Amino acid sequence: MALALSIHIGDRIQIGEREFSVQAIQENGDYVLVSGEEAFHIVEERYTEVMPDVLITVGFYQGDGVAKLTIDAPRKIKIRRLKNEP
């Protein structure tokens, strides 16, 4: 089941036990998600596997530093937005 979230640079999300942060959003809408030492380059209209059975893509880029992140994961995997650190 897919979940869509609007994200900004610096936003953090937790998928299962793993934490991801948005490190960069490029003008073309591609962006970089980081989890620990791993960096994932996410591009529009193509899913990237960031964990087993967890796929992420950019669904829509608004051009003002906001992107629409689409996460496709099994229902049993919890996904939540984390509070940004100051």
Q: What is the pLDDT of residues 5-40, one digit of tens each?
A: 888 889 999 999 999 999 887 777 678 999 999 999
User: CA 66 → CA 11, 24, 62, 71, 72, distances in Å?
Assistant: 10, 11, 6, 16, 19
pTM of the model: 0.84
Number of domains present in the structure of the chain: 1
Whether the Cβ atoms of residue 33 and residue 25 lie closer than 8 Å to each other = no
CA-nearest of 62, 18, 20, 70 to 46 is 70
Residue 56 CA to residue 22 CA, distance in Å, equals 12
Q: Which domain holds residue 63?
A: 2-82
CA-nearest of 62, 54, 77, 75 to 31 is 62
